[in-house]
Amino acid sequence: MNAKNSWQTVSACIVSGHRVASGGNGNPLFPGGTLMMQTPYFYALGLDLGAYYGGTLNVSIAPLRYQVVAPRQTFRAVKWHPTEPAEDFSFFDVRLVQPAAPAVEGLIYHPHPDTKPAHFQQPDVLELLLPFVAGLSYGAVIRLEVPAAQMLIG
């Protein structure tokens, strides 16, 4: 299999996020969560997030780090909030692989740190957009597959 089509497998630990994407932190600046507010803008740009749960699953790949290569999609200067500055976003393919279950396909959601106004992520944390997956909990170790042509992990 050539590098363009190869998927790298990595172990990741589910960690708590800022709970801003889902709206779980109750911040009135982001009613319903940032993801719900951003979804119509992404849709207008050609990315339909309707199949995914309305929040991100945060996972740590520590001690590894990721390096952006060529995102599946990138949107620049998305002005999704009336008072917050515009942001750049990239999306990458990802698969959650669980024993005795079909792989769950989703996206890595990557607000660019240089345009994100707050809620910075650690350099080993990825935010996943997936359909709802029952049985996941903080501290659980899961396996992810990510295309090497989009993102390098090492």
104: CATH: 2.40.30.30
Number of compact structural domains in the chain: 1
What pLDDT is attached to residue 101? 86
What pLDDT is attached to residue 12? 97
For the chain, 154 residues long, the average pLDDT of each consecutive 10-residue run is: 76 83 63 84 97 94 96 96 92 93 95 75 91 93 97 95
The boundaries of the domain holding residue 51 are 3-153
* Token pair listed for 125: 């944390």
Could you tell me the pTM of the whole model? 0.90
What pLDDT is attached to residue 98? 86
The SS3 of residue 125 is strand
What pLDDT is attached to residue 26? 58
Taking Cα atoms as reference points, which of 139, 100, 116 lies closest to residue 20?
Answer: 116
What pLDDT is attached to residue 74? 98
What pLDDT is attached to residue 76? 97
139 CB burial (10 A radius; 0-12, 13-18, 19+): exposed
How far is 128 from 142, CA to CA, in rounded Å? 12
Taking Cα atoms as reference points, which of 25, 52, 59, 63 lies closest to residue 136?
Answer: 59
What pLDDT is attached to residue 7? 96
